[in-house]
Amino acid sequence: MASVASGRSLSRAIAPYAFVLPPVIYLGVFMFGPLGRQIWMSLTNTRIINPNAGRYIGLRNFERLFSDSGFYDSLRITALYAAASVVLGVMAGVISALAINQPFRGRAIVRAILLFGWAAPNVATSLIWLWMYNGQSGVFNDIAMALGLERINWLTSAEMALPSILIVTVWQTAPFVMLVILAALQSTPEEVKEAARIDGADRLNVFRNVTLPHILPSVQLVSLLTAVWAIRRFDIIYLLTGGGPLGSTSTLVVKIRQTAFENYELGMASAYGVIGLVLALLVAAVHFIVERKRAQWMAR
Amino acid sequence: MAFRLNSRRSFALAMLAVSGAAASGQIALAQSAKEPVTLVIANSQWVDALRGKNLWNALLKYKQVAPHVTLEQEAIPSSEFDNKMTTEFGAGLGPDIAMMQEGLFYSIADAGYLVDVSKAVEGVKNLNRTNDNGVINGKRVGVAWQRAVYALIYNKPLLDAAKVKPPSNLDELIAASKAVTAATGAIGFTSRHQIADFGGWFMDFQNWAYGYGVNWVDGKGKLTINTPQAIAAMAAFKKMYDAKIIPIGDTMPTQRTRFKESKVAFSIDNSGGTLNIASGGALAAKDLYAAPLPFEHPGAHQQIFVGVSTHSKKQKAAIEFLAWLVSPDGQQALRDASGPDALATDVPITEAFRAANPWAETFAELAVKSRSTLIPGREVDTGPIMRTVMEALEKVLVAGADPKIALAEAQKQADSKF
C-alpha cells in the first residue's frame, strides 16, 4: 500500500513537469536555440552564403551599426510605424467593437465583413492594395481624379508611403482588436451598467466608469500584441514599398532582410535582429510593469 | 557489363561517348550509367508562362540520350531565387544543378559551392565568349545557359498610328513617347524606377550608365562612382522620369503585362523579357520590333550560368548532363526555346523564328558589344555597390537632389564600405 501511495505521490510530483516538457522542448528547439544562435552570429562576420564559416569579431557589428545613420533612421521609422499602428489600429478596433456590440439588423454580416481584413492572407492583401494604390490604374487615383485632384503617388513619394502602409496595417489589425474588445464588452456585467444608469449616469459616463475599466486589460493586451507585431511586420511593407522611397519605410525588419539577403551579411543582420529583439522585450516589459501596477492598485 | 563512372578513365570514356553521339547523332551516353538517377534543376525561368514550359521540354530531350536520368524542377520565382539559392547552398542543401544570374553565380562560386565542370566541355571546340566568365580563379565552374542582351523594344502599330519613328536618342524617345500617348492614349515608355525593384532596376540602369560611357571601376580597380559620365547618365534618367512618359509606381511584371496587352509604345528590356512579351499576349510577335538603345554607347546584358553544386551527391551525372547541354543536340534543343538569347555555342536562330519575330535580329546584333551588368573585379560586391548608386539615383528622382552631389555622397559611402 505504501509503495502504491509513494508511486502516486511521485507521479503527482512529476505530472506538472511532464505537462510542461513538450512546450519547453518546442520552445528550446524552435525559439531559444535559434535565438542563441542569432545572438552568437551577431558577434561574428558570418555571410549567408557560408553560414558555418563565420569568425568571432566581438562587438564590431554593433559598432558599425551604431555609427550608421541609416540604423537610427530605421529605428525612428520602426518606432513611428509601431506607435501609429497601435494608436490607429486599437482606436479603429475599439470603435468597431462598440458599434458592433449594439444590436441591429444584419449585425452578423457586418461583423463578417469587418473581419475580412484579419482573415485574408497578408501577401494577397498586399497585392490587392498594391493595385488599389497603383498610380496609373489604381482605384484611389481614379477617385482622386474624379474629385478633380492630381494623381497621388501613394507608394512612390517619401511623404505618402508610410501613411499608405499604415492604412493597410490598420485595415488588417483593427478586426483582431475588434474581436478581442467585443469579447470583453460582451462580458461586461449588464447589472452594473444598469445600476449606473439608475444612479443617473449618461451613456458617456457609463462608458467611462463601467465599460472602459472592464475592457482596459484587453485594450492593454491588444496594444502590446499590435506593437510587437508592428515591430516584426515585414510582408506588407516589403511588398508595397521594399523599404523605399528614400528609405521612408525602411523599418528594422526590412533593413535586416536587405543586410542578410542583398549584402549577404548574416552577422550584421543578426545584430539588427538583436536590436529588434531588445525593442520587442522593452515593449513587453512596459506592458508587464503597467499590468502589475494595475493589479496592485486593484488589490488595494 | 554495367558501365559505371568510377574513375577518371571511365569518365573520359563517357565524355568520348558524348562527343560520339553528338557527331553521329547516335545515343551513346545512355550506356554510361544505367542506375536510375534524379537530377534536381533549379531555375527561376520554370515559372515563366510558356517560356518555362518550352525550356523544360527542351531539357527533357536529354531523356532520349539518358533514359535512366529523371529531371526534376526546382521552380522559384525570380524575385525569390537568389535568397532561396543562397540559403539552400549555405545550409549544405539545394539542387544538383542551378541556372543562376551572373551575380548569384559569382557569390555561390566565391563560397566554393560549385564543382569544376571542365570535363563537361572537354573536346567542345565551339564554346563562345559567353562562357568566359564561367572560369573563376582558373577553374571552370559554370557554362553559359543564356545571355540576354538589352534593346529598345517598341509596338510598331502604335508607332505607326502616331506616325513616329524609332528614336535614336533620349530627346527623340521622350518626344516619340508623348506623340504615341497623344495619338493613341497608350503609355509612352516603361522602365523600372523604384528601389523596391532594386535587383532588376540596377541591371536595367546599367544600360543608361554604359550608354553614357560609365565604368564603375578604373584600371587599377578603384571604384569610380562620381564621374562626369555617371552624372550625365543620372541626369538623363531623371529627364526621362520627369517627362511623365512612364507609369510611376508600376512594377516590372505590371509593365510587361501592359506591353503584352498592347498598351505601351516603348520599353528597354532584355531578349528574355521580350520573348515573354511576344508570347501569348494581345500584341502579336510580328508587331513587336526592337532598335538599338537610344544612347551613344552599347548597353548591358544579363547572363545566366549553369553550375553543379558541391552538395550534390550526383555530380558525375550532373556533369554528364552539362556535357549534353553544350553538345549540338542540347544547344539546338535550347535554341528553339530561348528566342534570340546567346547560348553557350553559336547556334543561329531559325529562319522560321526570325520571320515570326522581327525583333529578334536586333538583339542578336547588339550582343556583339554588350557588357555584363557586373562590375569587373567586384563581381561579388556589385549588388551592394550598386545599391549605393541606386539610392543616390532615388534621391535624384524622388527628392530632386543634384546628381553631382548625390553621386559624390555615394562615392564616399562606397569608398568607406568596399
Q: Does the structure show a pLDDT above 60 at B206?
A: yes
The pTM is what? Answer: 0.82
Residues of A in contact with B390 (CB under 8 A): none
What cell was used for B87?
540559403
Candidates B86, B191, B387: best to mutate against A (most CBs of A within 10 A) is B86
The minimum CA-CA distance between A226 and chain B, rounded to whole Å, is: 25
Cell 564559416 maps to which residue? A53
Residues of B in contact with A263 (CB under 8 A): 383-384, 387
Of the listed ranges B80-84, B300-304, B324-328, the least confidently predicted one is B80-84
Residue A50 confidence (pLDDT): 82
Within 8 A by CB and 6+ apart from A188, the residues are A210, A211, A214, A215
Q: What's the CA gap between B96 and B73, in Å, rounded?
A: 10
For range B226-251, the mean pLDDT: 95
Q: What's the CA gap between B357 and B289, in Å, rounded?
A: 8
A135 → closest Cβ in B90, B249, B394:
B249
DSSP code of residue A30: I
Candidates B248, B259, B393, B394: best to mutate against A (most CBs of A within 10 A) is B248
The minimum CA-CA distance between B382 and chain A, rounded to whole Å, is: 10
Q: How far is CA A236 from the centre of its chain?
A: 12
Query: Cβ distance B309 to B94 under 8 Å?
Result: yes
B398 → closest Cβ in A138, A240, A246:
A246
What cell was used for A57?
569579431
Residue A160 confidence (pLDDT): 94
Confidence class for position B286, pLDDT limits 50, 70, 90: very high
- φ, ψ at A215 (rounded to 5°): -90, -5
Residue B7 confidence (pLDDT): 47
Q: Quote the percentage of chain B above a pLDDT of 70.
A: 92
Q: What's the CA gap between A63 and A61, in Å, rounded?
A: 5
Dump the DSSP string for B263-298.
Answer: -EEEEEEEHHHHHHHTSSSSS-GGGEEEE--SSSS-
DSSP code of residue B168: S
| Amino acid symbol at A193 | K
- Burial grade of A230 (CB within 10 A; 0-12, 13-18, 19 or more): buried
What cell was used for B70?
529523371
- Asked if A245's CB is within 8 angstroms of B111's CB, the reply is no
Cis peptide before A175 (omega within 30 of 0): no
Q: What ranges in B163-278 are assigned the alpha helix state H?
A: 170-184, 198-211, 228-242, 252-260, 271-277
Mean residue pLDDT of chain B comes to 90
The minimum CA-CA distance between B395 and chain A, rounded to whole Å, is: 6
Of the listed ranges A205-209, B29-33, B129-133, the least confidently predicted one is B29-33
B93, B96, B102, B105 alpha-carbon torsion, rounded to 10°: 40
Candidates A46, A48, A130, A239: best to mutate against B (most CBs of B within 10 A) is A48
Q: Does the structure show a pLDDT above 80 at B49?
A: no
B107 → closest Cβ in A49, A135, A243:
A49
Confidence class for position B78, pLDDT limits 50, 70, 90: confident
pLDDT tens digits, one per residue of B334-390: 998 888 899 999 998 888 889 999 999 999 889 888 999 999 999 889 999 999 999
pLDDT tens digits, one per residue of A35-50: 999 999 999 999 888 8
Residue A111 confidence (pLDDT): 84
Confidence class for position B4, pLDDT limits 50, 70, 90: very low
* HEC letters along A104-143: CCCHHHHHHHHHHHHHCCHHHHHHHHHHHHCCCCCHHHHH
Residue B16 confidence (pLDDT): 47
Q: What's the CA gap between A200 and A196, in Å, rounded?
A: 7
- Asked if A133's CB is within 8 angstroms of B249's CB, the reply is yes
Q: Does the structure show a pLDDT above 60 at B11?
A: no
Q: What's the CA gap between B42 and B368, in Å, rounded?
A: 28
H/E stretch holding B354: helix B351-356
- φ, ψ at B342 (rounded to 5°): -70, 140
* Coil/strand/helix, residue A191: helix
Q: Considering just the CA atoms, what is the radius of gyration of chain A in Å?
A: 24
Q: In this predicted complex, what is the ipTM? A: 0.75
Q: What's the CA gap between B142 and B241, in Å, rounded?
A: 38
Q: What's the CA gap between B274 and B269, in Å, rounded?
A: 6
A153 → closest Cβ in B82, B249, B383:
B249
Q: What's the CA gap between B83 and A238, in Å, rounded?
A: 14
Within 8 A by CB and 6+ apart from B398, the residues are A156, A157, A158, A245, A246
Q: What's the CA gap between B312 and B197, in Å, rounded?
A: 32
Write out the residues of chain A at the interface with chain B, using a CB-CB cutoff of 8 A. Answer: 47-51, 130, 133-136, 138, 153-158, 240-247, 258, 261-264
Question: What are the percentages of helix, strand and coil residues in chain B, rounded to 5?
Answer: 50, 15, 35
The minimum CA-CA distance between B415 and chain A, rounded to whole Å, is: 15
Q: What ranges in chain A are assigned the alpha helix state H?
A: 2-27, 33-41, 60-66, 69-101, 107-119, 122-133, 139-146, 161-186, 190-198, 203-206, 212-232, 235-240, 252-257, 266-299
Q: What's the CA gap between A259 and B230, in Å, rounded?
A: 26
Question: Chain B 82-111, CB below 8 Å of chain A: which residues?
Answer: 82-83, 86-87, 89-91, 107-108, 110-111
**Half-sphere CA count of A81, side-chain side, radius 13 A:** 31
Query: Cβ distance B287 to B155 under 8 Å?
Result: yes
The stretches in chain A having pLDDT less than 70 are 1-5
Q: What's the CA gap between B61 and B402, in Å, rounded?
A: 55
B299, A259, A37, B88 alpha-carbon torsion, rounded to 10°: -20
The candidate with the shortest Cα–Cα distance to B205, out of B380, B46, B407, B48, is B407
- B283-320 burial, b at 16+ Cβ within 10 Å, e below that, comes to bebebbbbbbbbbeebbbbbbbbbbbbbbbebbbbbbb
Q: What's the CA gap between B315 and B310, in Å, rounded?
A: 8
Residue B50 confidence (pLDDT): 81
Q: What ranges in B134-197 are assigned the alpha helix state H?
A: 156-162, 170-184
Confidence class for position B313, pLDDT limits 50, 70, 90: very high
- φ, ψ at A220 (rounded to 5°): -60, -45
Confidence class for position B279, pLDDT limits 50, 70, 90: confident
Residues of A in contact with B399 (CB under 8 A): 158, 246
A50 → closest Cβ in B83, B90, B199:
B90
How many CB atoms lie under 10 A from the CB of residue A190? 9
Residue A177 confidence (pLDDT): 95
For range B133-155, the mean pLDDT: 95
Q: Does the structure show a pLDDT above 60 at B17?
A: no
Cell 542543401 maps to which residue? B93
